[in-house]
């Protein structure tokens, strides 16, 4: 009995242990199922991330290719801009020589334009006269034909009357007069046809000359437009000076080289401001020396800012340097650009570039004025046709 009880207790203890182990196995199975679900979720997340990374990689490759293409395009554009900049710099370097050529071409084009317009006006006048003469000739030809037709009718009527009346001196005289008038009408018709042909030939010749004159005028206007564009480009280049004093300077015709030689490199300094080289101005003093006799003050022939007035008042100008005595601080320049200072320093040909810019600044307004005159000039009007000596009209054949 004790053994049976002990066996029953051992069986109960073993059952409890088995139940405990089963519970633990179920808990581990639940944990493993949870871990499996978590792992599958992570796997799905990794798969989606890999797919997203593949898409990003493809997009990145496309972006890299596009950026490479943009880089190549930018390099090509930069090369084009460098080439354009070099061309512009080359043109700007040649503007001093081109300005004089443009001035000469403008004068030539203006002369050619006036000549072409005068020739065109003359040809239009002659063409109008030819047309008027042609209309008169056509009217005269129609009148002559009508006269011949009337004469033929009269001759036929008279012939019929002669046949009806028989022979007679009066009838013969009338018939002879009718025949004479018929011959005169035929001669007038032939002359009218000949004059009409000559008038038509002259009209065609005048039309050809008019077309040639219009072609010449169109070519002259095209050349004038090209010169206008080139002059505007040169003017923009001349205005690009960065605020230097030379932009505010101007001189009378013939005094540009004297002004450039008098200022030299100082003409490139700015007016006021905070630049390293600038004109700040200085008031005239009662002790400033007067220029020697026989020398004109340069200030009388130039327009300049007030900051340069004291400097320009101490500079004299003359056609030739005759060795006049200069006070301390004074300078003497000739109109062809030779400079001599009070201390004996002499400079020849200095400030050539500044002189050319001053000359261009003087030429530019003249060029613009010429352009305005040429642009506003109207086309020559058609002149009314007048009857020249030796011409005729339809009324000359009547009667």
Which has the closest alpha carbon to 307: 284, 286, 285?
Answer: 284
- Domain boundaries of the chain, sorted by first residue: 1-55, 98-240, 245-281+288-350
The domain over range 98-240 is classified in CATH as 2.60.120: no
Which has the closest alpha carbon to 113: 200, 258, 38, 217?
Answer: 217
Q: Over pLDDT 90: what percentage of the chain?
A: 15
- Which helix (H) or strand (E) segment holds residue 297: the answer is strand 296-297
- Which helix (H) or strand (E) segment holds residue 302: the answer is strand 302-303
Residues linked to residue 250 through DSSP beta bridges, in sequence order: 303
pLDDT tens column, 70-109: 988 889 989 989 888 888 877 776 766 677 777 788 888 8
Which of the 8 DSSP states describes residue 286?
Answer: T
Query: Is residue 228's pLDDT more than 90?
Result: no
pLDDT band at 7 (very low <50, low <70, confident <90, very high): confident
pLDDT of residue 328: 93
Query: Is residue 292's pLDDT more than 50?
Result: yes
Which has the closest alpha carbon to 321: 345, 295, 298?
Answer: 295
- The per-residue DSSP string of 318-343 comes to ESS-------TT-EEEETTSEEEETT
Enter the pTM of the model. 0.36
Measure the CA–CA gap between 169 and 163, rounded to whole angstroms: 14
pLDDT of residue 393: 47
pLDDT of residue 340: 94
pLDDT of residue 314: 94
Return the top range by mean pLDDT from 5-9, 300-304, 351-355.
Answer: 300-304
pLDDT tens column, 113-129: 888 888 888 888 888 88
Q: Is residue 284 within 8 Å of 309, Cβ to Cβ?
A: yes
Mean residue pLDDT of the chain comes to: 80
pLDDT band at 368 (very low <50, low <70, confident <90, very high): low
pLDDT of residue 303: 92
Q: Give the 3-state secondary structure percentages of the chain, helix then strand then coil, rounded to 5.
A: 75, 5, 20
Query: Is residue 397's pLDDT more than 50?
Result: no
**Which residues, including other chains, have CB under 8 Å from residue 246's CB and lie 6 or more apart?**
267, 268, 354, 357, 358
């Amino acid at each position: 009995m004790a053994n049976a009880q002990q066996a029953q207790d051992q069986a109960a203890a073993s059952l409890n242990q088995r139940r405990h182990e089963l519970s633990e196995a179920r808990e581990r199975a639940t944990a493993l199922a949870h871990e499996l679900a978590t792992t599958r979720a992570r796997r799905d997340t990794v798969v989606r991330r890999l797919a997203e990374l593949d898409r990003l990689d493809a997009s990145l490759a496309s972006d890299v290719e596009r950026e490479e293409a943009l880089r190549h395009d930018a390099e090509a554009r930069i090369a084009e801009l460098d080439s354009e900049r070099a061309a512009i710099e080359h043109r700007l370097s040649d503007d001093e020589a081109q300005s004089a050529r443009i001035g000469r071409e403008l004068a030539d084009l203006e002369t050619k334009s006036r000549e072409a317009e005068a020739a065109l006006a003359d040809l239009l006048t002659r063409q109008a006269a030819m047309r008027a003469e042609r209309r008169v000739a056509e009217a005269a030809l129609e009148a002559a034909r009508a006269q011949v037709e009337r004469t033929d009718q009269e001759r036929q009527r008279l012939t019929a009357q002669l046949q009806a009346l028989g022979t007679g001196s009066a009838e013969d005289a009338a018939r002879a007069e009718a025949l004479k008038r018929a011959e005169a009408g035929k001669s007038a018709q032939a002359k009218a046809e000949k004059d009409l042909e000559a008038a038509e030939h002259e009209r065609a010749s005048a039309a050809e000359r008019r077309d040639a004159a219009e072609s010449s005028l169109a070519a002259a206007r095209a050349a004038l437009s090209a010169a206008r564009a080139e002059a505007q480009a040169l003017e923009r280049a001349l205005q690009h000076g960065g605020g230097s004093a030379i932009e505010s300077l101007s001189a009378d015709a013939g005094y540009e080289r004297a002004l450039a030689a008098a200022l030299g490199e100082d003409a490139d300094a700015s007016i006021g401001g905070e630049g390293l080289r600038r004109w700040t101005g200085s008031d005239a003093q009662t002790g400033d020396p007067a220029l020697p006799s026989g020398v004109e003050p340069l200030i009388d022939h130039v327009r300049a800012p007030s900051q340069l007035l004291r400097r320009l008042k101490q500079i004299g100008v003359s056609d030739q340097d005759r060795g006049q005595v200069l006070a301390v601080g004074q300078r003497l320049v000739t109109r062809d650009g030779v400079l001599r200072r009070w201390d004996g320093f002499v400079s020849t040909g200095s400030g050539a570039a500044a002189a050319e810019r001053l000359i261009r600044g003087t030429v530019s307004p003249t060029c613009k004025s010429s352009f305005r005159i040429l642009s506003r000039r109207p086309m020559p009007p058609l002149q009314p046709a007048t009857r020249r000596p030796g011409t005729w009209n339809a009324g000359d054949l009547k009667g």
